[in-house]
Amino acid sequence: MEFTEQFLEMMIAERGIAKNSVLGYKRDLLDFNIFLIDQKLSALDVNTEHINSFIKFLAAKNLQARSINRKLSTIKTYYAFLVSENYTTHNPVLIVDLPKYSSKLPLILQVAEIKELLDCCDLDKTPEGLRLKAMIHLLYASGLRVSELVSLKLSNLLKSTNKSEIKKIFTIDGKGNKERHVVINDQAISSIREYLLVRDLFIAPHNPKNMLYLFPSIAESGYMTRQNFAILLKQLAIKAGLDPNNVSPHVLRHSFASHLLEGGADLRVIQELLGHADISTTQIYTHLQTNYLKKILNECHPLNQAINDYE
């Protein structure tokens, strides 16, 4: 479509969206363009009925409702841009009925399972073991996104007045280049301090860029890739006797948020720590909390216990 590049440039310049998000927007608009070509339509001629036809077009390709909704969200934002630039006077997505889908609750680990992972890490005193332990402690202590964790710079973490001291509260540029505060506990600081003694072993001399990062790597980016960290986590899960399919960086982030909520933390605080732009994204953890309360009620209510005694 003729305005796609202008739209993407605006999203990067004004909203500071990440590279992966740009690619996602581009794919969504490419799919929409395929539909327009099939229907012999110009983007500026599209009305609500055409959008409904596009939904059917995607459904016929066995696309899930969640994926269809994401594409419609992209197109809605695209037409809002076209309206703002006076290319058209209406947004055809505004009054479309979105496909319904059930929201899947995120997978989390129990506190005991987190401890099993860390206990297993404690047995590995190699530089790789110390690095993995520091990464897990840091992720579970802070709720960082995996991309934020692996690309964390050493300068974010160390005090400028004392390069050997680790900050308990530091700032990062999170999703959408939005700055936010990250808070970590003493255990995370201790494991990072232990890892820093061997960090130089992971610095490749031919790639000076990796000197900047807390978790340097021979990767072109200069830091450990998300994929490599995910693989290391799954290998650790197997050693710890846990199902590797239930262990990932994102599961640790979900576990951090859910365990905070169980411990009585305010939802707004969790939103701030996770870097969610909208609290509705954070509210998924209240559903997890409801399930937890039901479990406690079933296990601890005296009448339920009396029934179990008779069984």
List, in order, residues 6 or more apart from 213 with CB less than 8 Å away: 151, 152, 153, 154, 222, 223
Amino acid at residue number 148: E
Residue written as token pair 């710890």: 240
CB neighbourhood size of 257 (10 A):
23
**How many other CB atoms sit within 10 Å of the CB of residue 233?**
21
DSSP alpha helices (H): ranges in the chain? 4-15, 19-38, 48-59, 65-84, 111-122, 127-142, 146-150, 154-157, 186-196, 226-239, 249-262, 267-274, 279-282, 284-300, 302-310
For the record, the structure tokens of 2 come out as 């003729």
Q: Which residues are catalytic?
A: 145, 175, 250, 253, 276, 285
Q: Are the C-beta atoms of 176 and 277 separated by less than 8 Å?
A: yes
Residue pointed to by tokens 């209240």: 286
Rounded Cα distance between 47 and 210, Å, is 50
